[in-house]
Amino acid sequence: MARTTAPFPTTRLRRNRRSPALRALVRETVLTVDDLIWPVFLMEGDNDAYDVPSMPGVQRLTVDRVVTAAKEAESLGIPAICLFPFIEQDVKTEDCAGAWDPDNLSNRATKAIKDAVPDIAVMTDIALDPYNINGHDGFVVDGEIVNDRTVDALVKMALAQAEAGADILGPSDMMDGRIGAMRAALEAEGHSHVSIMSYSAKYASAFYGPFRDAVGASGALKGDKKTYQMDPGNAEEALRLVERDLMEGADMVMVKPGMPYLDICRAVKDRFGVPTYAYQVSGEYAMLQAAAQNGWLDGEKVMMESLAGFKRAGLDGILTYFAPEAAKILNG
Ligand SMILES: NCc1[nH]cc(CCC(=O)O)c1CC(=O)O
């Protein structure tokens, strides 16, 4: 693109910033409710909710309450809701069998939402960590997180979620080969219409701390996830992972976390031009909320500015715990 900026004072770039009307005319990117995916936490029980202490404003919800939340999301125009189950420590196992149980909490919530609010898209999470006594996304054998056996289990999990009615499957496990294995199984089992949004470039990040509290994985996790999640120093590798997942059948790709990795978001979108999303993760949410609660930042303004940043970076959408609050503001 040729840049034609004449010297001062012929060009005064402030001219276009002079009024709200002029700023609106020249704005390059805008956030809309269509860009929002709302992650929610599930728990067992009836008509109950539990405040997640490290995520002010976020609650774990029982299935009936999540149906109400989905109705609210739909009425706000939010296109998708993403489910994460909280599993009690004493029902976690080493074989993670709960993960592919057709009647597990996540699958029951998917069915209930699709029955009551069929038009909202339901996204699910594929990884073993909520069910794993070791807190890892894969099976642990002799201290190692094994890949191929984990992929077999993730495929079973994917099929159970597709059967329950999930619209978008979100593999967040970072095992190798899982997208191709899931895509083949979905095709073979009559779920060819189900989308996969791969957590392709998922970094081994300290920003996931509050999420692990929310799903009850903090106490369970032994060690860290560095042998499968990405090293924060790497960018080229992110592009290789995205390319690999697209070749294996991912319909959409994700970068995670969001704000510290906007360079990766931009690079992925520029290189591949496919539907690309970021996850503004629990720690990003927690730090903005904590500063707002202390009166150190204007919570509403930093929320909207942080979300606008994802659009400017080229993204098609954002998974954010702010979704309902942001939607209310966007809807005026
Ligand atoms: N597979 C688990 C998973 N899926 C989404 C998140 C993090 C989301 C957040 O922090 O908001 C994590 C945590 C992790 O990898 O430990």
* Whole-number pLDDT of residue 215: 86
> Token pair for residue 84?
């994460």
Q: Active-site residue among 92, 114, 256, 269?
A: 256
> Does the active-site annotation cover 269?
no
Q: Active-site residue among 92, 111, 114, 202?
A: 202
Please determine, for the modelled complex, whether the ipTM score is greater than 0.90.
yes
Q: Is 137 in the pocket of ligand 1 (CB under 6 A)?
A: yes
pLDDT, tens only, 37-84: 999 999 999 999 999 999 999 999 999 999 999 999 999 999 999 999
* Whole-number pLDDT of residue 5: 86
CB-CB neighbours of 188 under 10 Å: 10
Q: Which of 132, 255, 281 to mutate to test the pocket of ligand 1 (most atoms within 8 A of CB)?
A: 281
Report the relative pairing of strands 317-320 and 36-42 from DSSP bridges: parallel
103 CA from centroid of ligand 1 (Å): 22
Q: Is 211 in the pocket of ligand 1 (CB under 6 A)?
A: yes
pLDDT, tens only, 145-201: 999 999 999 999 999 999 999 999 999 999 999 999 999 999 999 999 999 999 999
Secondary structure in 3-state letters for 198-256: EEEEEECCHHHHHHHHHCCCCCCCCCCCCCCCECCCCCHHHHHHHHHHHHHCCCEEEEE
> How far is the C-alpha of 262 from the C-alpha of 278, rounded, in Å?
9
pLDDT reading at 219 higher than 90: no
* Whole-number pLDDT of residue 48: 98
Q: Is 282 in the pocket of ligand 1 (CB under 6 A)?
A: yes
Q: Is 212 in the pocket of ligand 1 (CB under 6 A)?
A: yes
> How far is the C-alpha of 131 from the C-alpha of 89, rounded, in Å?
9
